[in-house]
Amino acid sequence: MEHRRDRHGHYFAMSRINKRQIVKNVSSSWFSLGCNVVVGILLSPFILHRLGDTAFGIWVLIFTLTGYYGLFDLGIRSSLVRYVSKFTATHENEELAKLINTSIFSYGCIGLFSFLVTVVLASSVDHLFKIPPELHSTARWLVLMVGASVGLGFPLGVAGGFLDGLQRFYINNWTATTATFARAFLIVYALHHGGGLLTVAFITVLLPLITSVVRLIAALRICPVPFGWKYVDRGTFRMMASYSGVTLIIVVAGQLKFKADAVIIGSMLSAAAITYFNIGSRIVAYAGELVTALAQNVLPIASQSEATGNVERLRKLFVAGNRFCAFTMFPIASCLLILGKSVIEVWVGKQYIAKSYPVLVILTVSATVMFSQAASGRILFGTSKHRTWAVVSLIEGIGNLILSVSLIPPFGIVGDALGTAIPMTCSMVFFMPRHVCRQLGIRVGNYVREAFLLPILITTPLVVVLLLMKRWFIPHNYKQLALQLLIGGSVYGLGLLWIFLSNRALRVGDLGVAAAPQAADNVPPTDAVEIYQQES
């Protein structure tokens, strides 16, 4: 064990085992994310062309509807992760047993309730949404199948939170990666042999259940806990419930912001329209996942800095963290805006460009504003100052819903994209920078200059190169698109190499400290990783 002392005189310890575990967790997260993105990119157009626009739209709609069941979580998972970590660290085995048993019982009740909701939804899905008559029966069976799977997934999902609390993220990541490849293989095999929408859905919902069982076995091997009614404890439930209040607000806001589009479009337009919107939004979502995976690394450092009172380190982390998010998001956004039509054509087909590209452009602009500041939210969570942001996020979600419903009649799916983009852009431009800078005592202008000027400068040559190559030829296949991305990426890579070799990447200049940092929002520390995973 090696001991180090920070500039404020606080001691902390780091074991080599913990270092290796951190490397395993981070590397497995990146690998799992990469596999998920690659499989999604390759599998989505295959499923789309095999099922057709309408059936694929119903697929997206039903999974979006059942995705709202995540609200039934009530923030329990975040408290599960938090208290597993606490009780294992303090060796409170009795409390750990109560936590696991109470969580399973609570989730069992939630799962039963969600199945009852599923039965009601299945009986009326063809009346609530504009689904062709020949697909009414398929839609009802699809709702029952997916809803039942989600209901079972609640109690089985305790295993994933258990492993996160044990800091064994890599087990969750490797099991998820295995399930991703198995799902892709089985879906391709089924569709090649005449399978349809229900077969694809069955494969999709079965594998997560099997994965959860494997995770539970792994968790119990690492940390065995007893099971029984005597460990289902009211006090433990109250402890978990009191912890997860703010989390629930953020989960609700996330559902409104990121899960409402398919439901609104399906009820106001058609199932096929969901497909056109999903193509544009899915591409942006893949880009966001890359930035989110990077920003996760800010969380433990922010928590440690806040705990040791190292405010100066926290300020520099805030600036440097968002700078690296911008380094990742700005070039991706530039490629999507300039080559977006080619990306859609190569991915799913030229016939989808007219309707999906405007959605891609609108969402890319707003997502760039949001994901280039992905470290800001991690700072707030890591320092327990996220209550105000939770309220603003909820207001943003409600605004999203109202604007989308209002703008769809005149503008179609473009109106829905605007309904999502406008509130998101407003909150991330007018609220987030000022709020976090006020919390840390930093001048906003200095923060913007330090965080974003350098990413803009090294992205500019990439934009110029892509525009020039677009005048030379427009990509229409994977090889042509890969060539342009390779050339543009090489130019951007040289810029990155220069700033790293010159030590400009991590250098933070004068932040112009404005005032003393504000006090916390008086909420208990929350597991920010889990909250952000639920919101995204």
- Say if residue 142's pLDDT is above 70: yes
pLDDT class for 22, splitting at 50, 70, 90?
low
Question: What per-residue string of b and e applies to 5-19 under the rule 16 or more CB within 10 Å gives b?
Answer: eeeeeeeeeeeeeee
- Say if residue 290's pLDDT is above 90: no
- Say if residue 383's pLDDT is above 80: no
pLDDT class for 303, splitting at 50, 70, 90?
low
What is the 8-class DSSP label of residue 429?
Answer: I
User: Which residue did the predictor score with more confidence, 342 or 220?
Assistant: 342
Average pLDDT, the chain: 78
On whether the CB atoms of residues 104 and 220 are closer than 8 A, the answer is no
User: Which residue did the predictor score with more confidence, 457 or 70?
Assistant: 457
- Say if residue 429's pLDDT is above 80: yes
- Say if residue 224's pLDDT is above 70: yes
- Per-residue pLDDT, averaged over 50-77, amounts to 66
User: Which residue did the predictor score with more confidence, 335 or 265?
Assistant: 335
Can you tell me the distance from the alpha carbon of 135 to that of 196, in angstroms, rounded to the nearest whole number? 12
User: Which residue did the predictor score with more confidence, 467 or 159?
Assistant: 467
On whether the CB atoms of residues 421 and 363 are closer than 8 A, the answer is yes
Can you tell me the distance from the alpha carbon of 138 to that of 131, in angstroms, rounded to the nearest whole number? 10
- Say if residue 198's pLDDT is above 90: no
Of 7-21, 223-237, 476-490, the poorest mean pLDDT is in: 7-21
Q: How far is CA 380 from CA 51, 367, 386, 437, in A?
A: 43, 19, 5, 11
User: Which residue did the predictor score with more confidence, 294 or 404?
Assistant: 404
pLDDT class for 17, splitting at 50, 70, 90?
very low
> What is the Cα Rg of the chain in Å?
24
pLDDT class for 86, splitting at 50, 70, 90?
low
Residue among 344, 342, 336 nearest 362 (CA): 336
On whether the CB atoms of residues 442 and 315 are closer than 8 A, the answer is yes
- Say if residue 82's pLDDT is above 70: no
pLDDT class for 149, splitting at 50, 70, 90?
confident
- Say if residue 416's pLDDT is above 70: yes
pLDDT class for 62, splitting at 50, 70, 90?
low
- Per-residue pLDDT, averaged over 456-470, amounts to 94
On whether the CB atoms of residues 173 and 163 are closer than 8 A, the answer is no
On whether the CB atoms of residues 306 and 383 are closer than 8 A, the answer is yes
- Per-residue pLDDT, averaged over 27-52, amounts to 73
Which are the contacts of 140, defined by CB distance < 8 A and separation ≥ 6? 122, 123, 125, 126
